[in-house]
Structure 1
């Protein structure tokens, strides 16, 4: 990725099925970080459901939707792949491939019905699997005396800080993860709490995943 930033994606690979007028729509969603990844899961899913009426798909790769593609796979033009892609984009999901498999149930849905069915398949599939925010965070370690640990631990919980590890030795070493743009302010607060008797050791940066439960994806 050209730039490291926070973004939304699905919690894990998974699938979800809905039935509309006896047609089965199976949404298979995958975390994919390249076009090659996307093409591989599309091929594998199409093979898995090779007896299906249609295997439509859409994917978006990159944090700014740098590479996108949609396929109707025989459905009327614009009624499957594009609605699936728009569903991913409306949820603000990144690096996700959706393959929606249809087993025709005997009743035609019409263009509008197909658009809603394929769009809803992706949206409901993503919500059933779960959405997470991948947050780039900095690891930070610091020492505290045993008689200050409860106080510091309480402070970190109040600040909703991710405590990665606590090591007990001569004193207590606490390792946390913090958003980069919040690091300076947290260090200032901890320094004040400890009356200046604290030193910080930065560690690695990594993405941590925070579950999104309110379905309000645009504000994340």
Structure 2
């Protein structure tokens, strides 16, 4: 597993939740054709509304010749901010259906842009809703999910002579405890960073003590919402 800290601690949220919306790991693009119209969808992870607007502007720049570039976004660690645009399609036939797909998938910090090149045949309201929904859904099927979990930061300072052995021990430990290992830092000692479920902090402390004859003691830090790539 790989962790990415979205720089959000639990105190800043005002409440602690055991479940957070997921996001995606990287941009994905996918095209479908419906009754001669081309629907090209771009979905991308974003860090803010401004970041989503940047993605939308880039797609519109590249696909300036398209009749429509419809959009939907959900942002915020709790998925509490949303926006959509039909971009000239009949009201409610594009942006809202796209947004509903993002909501049904339980996603946040993601933007979807569906570019339509008109094929000369009108699809009707129902056909447009199905086309835009299907475009986003099929594109998300190709995206790698990133889950978000409340985890506690733990660091362990290890003498360089023991770093290789402890690295192997910790890699095995995180796999068995639904935790994740960050990038080590090397200075006067090797410092390993782990993101650990709250209930696993004490077992980690005990396992480190047992595996080092009491020489290693973890330093427990803050609890944050951390991105963890789905396996």
Both proteins in one fold, TM over 0.5: yes
Displacement of 1:97 after TM fit?
Answer: 1.4
Judged with a 3 Å threshold, the aligned counterparts in structure 2 of structure 1 residues 79 and 202 are, in CA distance, closer, same or farther, namely: same
Report the aligned-residue RMSD.
3.5
Could you list the runs of 5+ residues in structure 1 that have no partner in the other structure? 214-220
Q: Quick check: 92-101 or 204-213, which moved more?
A: 204-213
Q: Deviations over 1:53-75 (max 9, x none)?
A: 21111111213333211111121
Displacement of 1:120 after TM fit?
Answer: 1.7
**Residue in 2 that maps onto 1:73:** 87
Q: How does 1:105-120 map to 2 (within 5 A)?
A: 105-120=119-134
**Residue in 1 that maps onto 2:112:** 98
Structure 1 length-normalised TM: 0.76
Structure 2 length-normalised TM: 0.73
Q: Which has the higher contact order (CA 8 A, sep 6+)?
A: 2
**Residue in 1 that maps onto 2:3:** none
- Please point out which of 36, 41, 49 is paired with 1:27: 41
Q: Are 2:156 and 1:141 equivalent residues in the alignment? A: yes
Corresponding pairs, count: 212
**Residue in 1 that maps onto 2:140:** 126
Q: Are 2:31 and 1:13 equivalent residues in the alignment? A: no
Judged with a 3 Å threshold, the aligned counterparts in structure 2 of structure 1 residues 76 and 9 are, in CA distance, closer, same or farther, namely: same
Judged with a 3 Å threshold, the aligned counterparts in structure 2 of structure 1 residues 155 and 212 are, in CA distance, closer, same or farther, namely: closer
**Residue in 2 that maps onto 1:217:** none
**Residue in 2 that maps onto 1:54:** 68
Judged with a 3 Å threshold, the aligned counterparts in structure 2 of structure 1 residues 123 and 179 are, in CA distance, closer, same or farther, namely: farther
Displacement of 1:16 after TM fit?
Answer: 1.6
Q: 1:42 touches 1:99 (CA, 8 Å); kept in 2?
A: yes
Could you list the runs of 5+ residues in structure 2 that have no partner in the other structure? 1-7
